[in-house]
Amino acid sequence: MTDLDLDTFAADGTRICSIADALELIGDRWSLLVVREIGFEVHRFDQIRTRTGAPRQMLAARLRKLEEVGVVERRKYQDRPERYEYVLTEAGRALFPVLVDLRKWGERFAPSRPVRRPDGDLAGGGTGGATGGVTGGVTDALG
């Protein structure tokens, strides 16, 4: 029996599940991409926006939510004008291995598509994921 075999149901018949609870907090594309970028040491709003492609208002909303649920923390890095950067909390750092596994799954089962690297070169194709990343480290695991 695995942890997933435990059946617990609410009074209305819906399954009570920590997967559903986790998805409620971080289960959308932009939230996971934000965590990916902050994990790659991309801490400032405009940099995160550029790397994820998220619309400005969407990114601001996701960062607020991730801060509220304790996945990211906002830190002031400049007083005038007041500017902030974002870092992963313990919960955000614990999410990283899940993203590594998600990338591995995507490389195996998601269709590949060519993408542009930050340097503008076309990358991708091949089997599975869109990019190969740098050998070793987090970039190879998630890039």
pLDDT digits (tens, 9 = 90+) for 11-61: 898 888 999 899 999 999 999 999 999 999 999 999 999 999 999 999 999
pTM for the full predicted model: 0.73
Task: Write down the pLDDT at residue 48.
Answer: 98
SS3 (DSSP) at 78: strand
Q: What is the dihedral of CA 30, 89, 140, 57, to 10 degrees?
A: 20
Cβ atoms of 34 and 52 within 8 Å: the answer is yes
The string over 62-77, giving b where at least 16 C-beta atoms fall within 10 Å of a residue's C-beta and e elsewhere, is bbebbeeeebbbeeee
pLDDT interval class at 136 (50, 70, 90): very low
pLDDT digits (tens, 9 = 90+) for 62-88: 999 999 999 999 999 999 999 999 999
CA 38, CA 57: separation in Å to the nearest integer? 18
Cβ atoms of 95 and 138 within 8 Å: the answer is no
Task: Write down the pLDDT at residue 111.
Answer: 81
